[in-house]
Amino acid sequence: MSFAPLRSFAVAFFLSSVLALHLGCDAAEENLAPAPPPAAEESERSDQKKIIAFGDSLTAGFGIGLDEAYPAVLQEMIDREGYRYEVINAGVSGETSAGGVRRLSWVLDQREVEAIVLALGGNDGLRGLPPQEMKKNLATLIEEAKSRDITVLLAGFEAPPDARDRYVRDFVAVFPELAQEHDVTLMPSLLQGVIGVSELNQPDGKHPNAEGARVVAENVWSYLKPLLTTP
């Protein structure tokens, strides 16, 4: 299959307004391992089941740090409502779906994980990688999690209503297809309410600021809460 349409105006507009707006990462951002939580906090939460936030720069909190990234805000919400879970930030800036496949087992091993928020794929789109390759990788991640009895919340992307380019349509279609084929919950857009809102984004126009990360956390919590064991 040829991916020449990626160079068309329609795709360039889509990637710049939806993907590049929030998921663009410099090469220097790639392969940054998530920092471990402070030892004291880890000890306090050692008996709690884990929720893994597995993604790229949006999850890693590029530009705002781990303390203000959406997983940290999600932890606040969970604690406030009396749920006993520890949210582990397993975001790596610049991560692709293939990179996620290489490291998921390491992230899940030796942890009692109940749920995973799977938010990868944006960097695949930015690089023009075949959507079916991304789909295969994401399916591998989903099945690995399900084989361990881990609940999966899959975060996707939504195309502009007038998007007509074949690559764009194929890219965004991957996520609902995966949710249906693998019977997992789909969150249609991780960035709902954040895209294009200048006051919710950093000056680079690519990443949510601290306030934007709170909106992302609220988005995630609205889909994740029904999947968890009640307090």
d(CA 92, CA 155): 16
Q: How many residues does the chain have?
A: 231
Catalytic residue among 22, 56, 165, 207: 207
Reference 129, options 100, 171, 92; nearest CA is 171
Count CB-CB contacts under 10 A for residue 222: 11
d(CA 189, CA 151): 18
204 belongs to the catalytic site? yes
16 belongs to the catalytic site? no
189 belongs to the catalytic site? no
148 DSSP 8-state letter: T
Adjacent-strand bridge partners of 216:
none
Catalytic residue among 26, 67, 183, 204: 204
Could you tell me the strand order of the sheet in which 185-187 lies?
85-91, 49-55, 113-119, 151-155, 185-187
Catalytic residue among 22, 57, 97, 165: 57
Provide the token pair at 34. 């998530």
> Which of the residues are catalytic?
57, 204, 207
